[in-house]
């Protein structure tokens, strides 16, 4: 967690690995999306971060001597609802004379705000991740209220436009919720949905937070789900849990702060 000059807290998490260092940064203070499995959504929306506050997260972590090779805009907030401040920050991340990161190593995540997805495609070379989390609209609308405005079919069509424009795969993010979206029938439905979509699927173990009734899928269920996708030719990975012990993992909000 980082504390801004006005005292607000945002999620900024550095994930070190042997061959890379991934920095997860925020785009807003709070979030207006209200996704039903995400603790951050309960905070509500406070304000957009400025371009300086967005790129400042990368600058600060580098000043602390951490080697940042990848940046994912997957922290607090919906990045595309702050696109006017996000775009200059993305440019700085990929500018040789600034952060110098590859366009393949800067990723913007969205719940799927279709008109702004198209605006991102035209204005930036950043990679794309879509928080899908369900194989059909019936389940997704219960998890992600924004799906009522931009249903899955529209989001999938936008993903295809991204590939046509960038010739790169989309990352499909899928949180695994026990008996909600994690059964083999859901995996088969997801395979049909993603037919013809150049993508890779990232299965995310649910990180429990106080006040939520959802439970995490067990490891066996996740493996079975992944197996269905892999056998159908859909490249699938499972995200490792990090930070859950201090309520600082994906979809949680806790931890210590540092001024920025």
Residue 241: the pLDDT is 53
For each of the domains in the chain, give its residue range(s) and CATH number, in order of start: 1-109 (3.20.20.70), 132-241 (3.20.20.70)
Residue 209: the pLDDT is 73
Answer yes or no: 99 catalytic: no
Q: Choosing from 24, 38, 159, 250, which is the catalytic residue?
A: 250
Answer yes or no: 250 catalytic: yes
Q: Is the pLDDT of residue 236 over 70?
A: yes
Q: Choosing from 11, 53, 78, 173, which is the catalytic residue?
A: 11
Sheet of strand 21-24: strand arrangement: 13-16, 21-24, 70-73, 106-110, 127-131, 170-176, 199-205, 236-238
Q: Is the pLDDT of residue 129 over 60?
A: yes
Sign of CA dihedral 196, 200, 205, 211: negative
Contact 60, 54 (CB under 8 A): no
Look up tokens 């709070």; give the residue.
Answer: 30
- Which of 12-26, 190-204, 244-258 is the least confident region? 244-258
Contacts of 143 (CB under 8 A, 6+ apart): 35, 36, 37, 133, 134, 177, 180, 181
């Amino acid at each position: 967690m980082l504390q801004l000059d006005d005292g607000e807290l945002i999620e900024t998490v550095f994930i070190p690995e042997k061959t890379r260092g991934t920095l997860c940064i925020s785009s807003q203070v709070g979030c207006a999306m209200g996704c039903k499995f995400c603790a951050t959504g309960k905070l509500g929306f406070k304000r957009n971060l400025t371009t300086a506050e967005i790129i400042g997260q990368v600058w600060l972590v580098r000043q602390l001597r951490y080697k940042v090779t990848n940046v994912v805009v997957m922290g607090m907030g919906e990045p595309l609802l702050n696109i006017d401040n996000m775009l200059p920050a993305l440019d700085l991340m990929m500018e040789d004379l600034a952060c110098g990161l590859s366009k393949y190593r800067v990723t913007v995540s969205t719940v799927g705000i279709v008109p702004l997805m198209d605006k991102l495609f035209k204005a930036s070379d950043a990679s794309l991740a879509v928080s899908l989390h369900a194989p059909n609209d019936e389940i997704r609308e219960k998890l992600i209220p924004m799906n009522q405005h931009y249903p899955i079919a529209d989001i999938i069509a936008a993903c295809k436009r991204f590939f046509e424009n960038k010739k790169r795969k989309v990352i499909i993010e899928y949180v695994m919720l026990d008996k909600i979206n994690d059964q083999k029938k859901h995996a088969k439905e997801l395979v049909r949905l993603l037919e013809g979509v150049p993508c890779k699927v990232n299965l995310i173990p649910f990180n429990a937070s106080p006040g939520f009734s959802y439970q995490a899928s067990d490891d066996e269920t996740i493996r079975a789900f992944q197996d269905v996708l892999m056998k159908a030719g859909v490249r699938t990975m499972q995200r490792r849990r990090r930070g859950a012990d201090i309520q600082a993992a994906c979809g949680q909000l806790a931890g210590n702060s540092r001024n920025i």
